[in-house]
């Protein structure tokens, strides 16, 4: 994700990466999801295909902040 944030990332990819890195993934309804790291920082991501590169970059930052 870090190397290519402009790829066609899908909501399923975001969910899989979040769970792989131990982030809480919560999606109520179909339009948005909230990803939370162990420090309590969160990111709200619109779940429209493809996910915009801005949100992919912020997800990578959220993962790195928890390390």
Place of tokens 């990819």: 13
- E strand segments, 1-67: 24-26, 32-36, 42-46
Q: What is the pLDDT of residues 10-50, one digit of tens each?
A: 999 999 999 999 999 999 888 999 999 999 999 999 998 89
Q: What pLDDT is stored for residue 28 in this prediction?
A: 83
Assigned CATH for 11-66? 3.30.920.30
Cis amide linkage into residue 63, ω under 30° from 0: no
Closest CA to 15 of 59, 54, 57: 59
pTM exceeds 0.85 for this model:
yes
Q: How far apart are CA 56 and CA 9, in angstroms?
A: 8
Domain range summary for the chain, segments of one domain joined by +: 11-66
The rounded percent of the chain whose pLDDT value lies above 90 is 85
Contact 33/59 with Cβ under 8 angstroms?
no
């Amino acid at each position: 994700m870090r190397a290519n944030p402009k790829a066609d990332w899908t909501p399923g990819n975001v969910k899989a990466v979040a769970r792989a890195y131990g982030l809480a993934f919560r999606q109520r309804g179909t339009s948005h999801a909230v990803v939370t790291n162990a420090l309590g920082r969160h990111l709200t991501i619109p779940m429209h295909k493809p996910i915009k590169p801005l949100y992919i970059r912020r997800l990578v930052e959220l993962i790195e902040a928890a390390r």
